[in-house]
Structure 1
Amino acid sequence: MDLPPELRRLQAVAETLLQQGRVLQAIEAFEQLLRHEARLPDAWYNLAFLQHRARRFDEALASYGQALVNGVAGAEEVHLNRAVILSDHLARHDEAEQALHAALALQPRYLPALINLGNLREQRGERTAALEAYEAALAIEPGHALALSRLPHLKPPQRADDPLIGRLRRAIAQAGPAEQADLGFALGKALDDAQAYDDAFAAYAAANAASRAAGGGVRYDAAAHERCIDSLIAAFPDARPRGMPAPPAVGPRLIFVCGMFRSGSTLVERILARHPDVTAGGEIDLLPGLMRERFGPMPQVVSPLDEATLQRWRTHYLERIATMFPGARCVTDKRPDNFLYIGLIRRLFPDAVIVHTRRHPLDNCLSIHFLHLSHTMPHALDLLDTAHWYRQYERLMAHWQRLHGDTMHDVDYDALVADPQPVVAALLEACGLAWSERCMSFHEGDGVVATPSGWQVRRPLYTASSGRWRHYARHLDGLQAALGMPPGKEPPVTA
């Protein structure tokens, strides 16, 4: 479309701001452009992209809709982007699946839509349907790393000579670092299921090395993380500043489930979600997003938050919860790393329930090392770095316990799987919930579980993951020492 000179100049300014990553200014420029000329599908697409980055999810959906109405090229990508927003940020999973089917109706061989469809079906516990989506992707691209890497989770091998293990090894040999990481963690999972533990440990080590390479050789900065923990402790030295009134309790009751990654938080949320009064919120990224926006990804200094800012954040959080879960009486926010922000949670929501999940340190650290986390979490790529992160977690949790220990409830994963009834009863009591027998059959619940533990929590309680470190004991002397545990002895469980 030919535009008059002044609109061409405005379009150029908007696109330059987009390229520079100046999100809010670019949004204003594209909105101004579209007020003058609304028939610009690429401008609508770019505006939607920026609104997504700015966490204006409803606005992004509307702008993507306008891009479609105005005939944007590559409409299947627009439907995919809408599906991501609907599933990842708005918990509107049925609409997300409809968007993925719309993308595939336009382009049946569109691999990103097939992979996302498989992932959504996994989150819903639809094993056969998920396999169908991944196999459809592999029929188009037999070596597709993401599709192939999901197969051990859906069809766990029972023997070390399972053909899937050989298929994964061959794919790794032909892949680049990013794909080697995807496939390598899958190979480790397959070998662990086949009880080939030494080979599994080697596969996980190689996968972590590949993940580091894919991230440009990223390294964990232990000193910076210590300064981050120092800043959080300094920012919240007291349970509540003197003279600061408690905000009124509005909206649903909030239950924050947090702790180390892989410490049992998904299982705890799943148990709570079976209660008739509880709605599972999953890993809501609102609090980490607000903290990053104000202080950066790893804050070295956290300045005091005035009551006006706290009220704005409080309102933003509650409005988003109301949009995502209308009419809910009690909502869980199961973002594990919210343990970093317990001081902030207490300032925002003094009446919220905080559930802290914990697990044997060796099992916890090993499970993190065996999980394909983003290379933006480099402490997961090396067991000694994971141990350092764990010790800093212990240091921060000791601070929160001093301030808020009487208002937090600990759930020990190992105690839960060994004898669930008393642990579940204490959990419900701490959350102010009446006993419900349904909570003991958490694995029978439906709904979406969007975490790496999705398949585990759809099984009855099992103890195989408790004490799992023993299978790998010969490789863990360094980890035990870094955690302050004498090598060669049965490590104690720490509180």
Structure 2
Amino acid sequence: MQAPISSLRAAAVGHLSAGRAPQALAAYQALLASAPGEPDDWYNLAFLQRQAREFAAALASYGRALELGVGSPEEVHLNRAVILAEDLRRADDAMAELRRSLHLAPGYVPALVNLGNLHEQRGERDEARACYERVLAVEPGQALALSRLVNLRSFRDADDPLIQRLRQALSQPTLHPVDRADLAHALGKALDDAKAYDDAFAAYVHANQASRVSYGRQPLRYDRDGHERLVDALIRQSLQPAPVPAGADPAPAVFICGMFRSGSTLIEQILGSHPGVTAGGEIDLLPALAGQHLLPLLRQADRPLPAPLAQELRRTYRDGVAVRFPGAGLLTDKRPDNFLFIGLIKQLFPDAKILHTRRSVLDNCLSVFFLHLGPTMPYALDLEDIAHWYRQYRRLMDHWKALFGDDIHDVDYDALVADPRPQIEAALAHCGLPWDEACLNFHASKSLVATPSNWQVRQPLYQRSSGRWRHYERHLGALRAALGAFADDSANTSG
């Protein structure tokens, strides 16, 4: 006997409200099989399907909600745009959805911000600026749009009017910590451009203090002991017997990883200019698979990866990149923190090639401190925590190199910007690719770049970021002490 519609809906809403996503997904599917005419139910199903990485199904469900006359259709078009841009890398289709959203609601700020961001990722500076100015015409104090304007230009004078607008916005006592963090990071960038280094450092400290209290009731905290235990467990698990796939196809991607802000976007942009390469950007598949399947093994006496599970994960990864990049030749999967999962990569794809980006230690750590990262990376909010993360990263990379040395190639950022061709030739050779002159003209590429390095990699190579730490040396005593001997690796970078 079929349950009443009211009971099916109550079950679906209950699971959704309680955060039980798998049960909520099944409940909404059962509800809509019986009563397919309620647009809000299709909207909620689409939300859950995206969480479950069922992207095509989510787009279809959002489409059905639109057909049935869902309220606030501009929001639905925005949600479709986010799936198309972030999950499926279909930038043109995402742009069309955002324009549909704005046709329905010309002053809809979330769509304007996302449209500006997409223009930035495409390297369309003037169009991005116009979007953010439209936001500020609707909401003059909108923090994200104001902070994004800073990314679109350089600053020579600490008294620049836009810097004054940032200071004025930051002076508001009721400013939400999320907005305060956005604005203070932007102020730090502008003051750094203007060579007001002490004021820039103070702005970045302010930004990170705001970030610490931006996400929920409890301040973010980096668990040093917990991270050391994770690295220990990753090392132990990698020494377990690994399943060897029979007759496996070659790895579907070259994996680019390292510390954040170590040059990974730059080397991907260079390689992506080669006619034989498709730049994949920060693909989230591997961390998702690791979180769902590898990390539970680490909590169970570091069990080996069972062969059937390894086969399933290989298939899931291949299918996932095929959906996003149909017909791609050699793909790059550039996600810096995939260095944590090199062991998993090699268990799934024994022939996988790794490009490991490195940079002067002090420059790298300082640049992480200056970057507005999310709540999953609380180490980035404190220079001594960054030093601890860095030391653990080096410990883990030393282990991976001992196991897979021939398949891991270091790309040195400082050497790359000083004398690019030898570094590029070596990286191409590691990937099995011949030299191509287009790699030296990477900054002219029209590819989508969805990382904070977007505007830097659209310029010819420059060396001004090498030795940048010297401008902030008076503030780096604690960082140097926490890094120990690693701090000496920065001594020979150019200033």
Shorter chain as normaliser: what TM range?
over 0.9
Q: TM-score, normalised by structure 1?
A: 0.95
Q: Within 5 Å, give how 1:100-179 maps onto structure 2.
A: 100-174=98-172, 175-179=175-179
- Equivalent residue of 1:328, what SS? coil
Distance 1:451 1:458 in 2: 12
Confirm whether residue 74 of structure 1 aligns to residue 40 of structure 2: no
CA contact (8 A) 1:227 1:300 kept: no
Q: How many residues align?
A: 487
Letter in 1 for 2:277: V
Tell me the residue number matched to 1:455.
455
Give the match for residue 35 of structure 1. 33
Q: Which amino acid aligns with 1:171?
A: A
In structure 1, the partner of 2:273 is 274
Distance 1:57-1:147 versus aligned 2 partners, 3 A rule: same
Aligned partner letter, 2:33: R
Shift of 1:491: 3.5
Paired letter, 2:343: G
How far 1:127 moved relative to its partner?
A: 0.2
Give identity over the alignment, percent: 57
Going from structure 1 to structure 2, the CA distance change for 1:370 and 1:38 (only over 3 Å counts) comes to same
How far the C-alpha of 1:407 sits from its partner, in A, is: 1.1
The Cα shift of 1:300 comes to 5.4
Q: Which residue of 2 aligns with 1:435?
A: 435
Deviations 1:203-262 (A, max 9, x none): 000100010021331111100010111110111016x63xx4344343774110000000
Q: 1:13-71: per-residue Cα shift (whole Å, max 9, x none)?
A: 01101111111111111111111111110110011111111111111111111111111
- Residue 352 (1) aligns with residue 352 (2): yes
CA distance in 1, matches of 2:195, 2:180: 22
Distance in 2 (CA, whole Å) between partners of 1:439 and 1:461 is: 12
Partner of residue 204, structure 1: 204
Q: Deviations over 1:361-407 (max 9, x none)?
A: 10110000000001321100000000000000001001101000111
Three-state SS of the structure 1 residue aligned to 2:331 is strand
Corresponding position of 1:90:
88
Aligned counterparts, 1:7-46, within 5 A: 7-46=5-44
Amino acid in the other structure paired with 1:419: D
Partner of 2:213 in structure 1?
213
The change in CA–CA distance for 1:468 and 1:415 in structure 2 (over 3 A counts) is same
For residues 155-207 of structure 1, the C-alpha deviation after alignment (integer angstroms, 9 at most, x for no partner) is 22111111111110110111221110000000000000000000000000010
Distance 1:361 1:487 in 2: 6
The match for 2:313 is: 313
Displacement of 1:82 after TM fit?
A: 0.7
**Counterpart-to-counterpart distance in 2, 1:304 and 1:118:** 46
TM-score (norm 2): 0.95
Would the aligned equivalents of 2:362 and 2:487 in 1 still touch at CA under 8 Å? Answer: no
Aligned to 1:259: 258
Cα distance in 2 for residues equivalent to 1:390 and 1:214 = 24
Is 1:333–2:333 an aligned residue pair? Answer: yes
What is residue 387 of structure 1 aligned with on the other side?
A: 387
User: Higher mean Cα deviation, 302-311 or 341-350?
Assistant: 302-311
The 1:200/1:101 distance shift into structure 2, 3 A limit, reads same
The alpha-carbon deviation at position 488 of structure 1 amounts to 10
**Equivalents in 1 of 2:189, 2:159: separation in Å?**
14
Which whole-Å CA distance do the structure 1 matches of 2:114 and 2:456 have between them?
Answer: 20
| CA distance 1:49–1:298, shift in 2 (3 Å) | farther
Check the 8 A contact 2:361/2:489 in 1, yes or no.
no
The aligned residue for residue 182 of structure 2 is 182
Q: Secondary structure at the match of 2:213?
A: helix
CA contact (8 A) 1:251 1:322 kept: no
Report the CA distance between 1:299 and its aligned residue: 6.2
Q: CA 1:18–1:487 in structure 2 vs 1: closer, same or farther (change >3 Å)?
A: closer
The one-letter code matched in structure 2 to 1:256 is F
The answer to which of 346-355 and 389-398 deviates more is 346-355
- Name the structure 2 match of 1:287: 286
Q: Take 1:81 and 1:111, find their aligned partners in 2: how far apart are those partners?
A: 14
2:237 is aligned, of 235, 238, 247, to 235
Q: Which runs of 5+ in 1 are unaligned?
A: none
Q: Is the 8 A contact 2:363 2:490 kept in 1?
A: no
Q: Which residue of 2 aligns with 1:250?
A: 249
Residue 483 of structure 2 corresponds to: 483
| 8 Å contact from structure 2 (residues 362, 490) kept in 1 | no
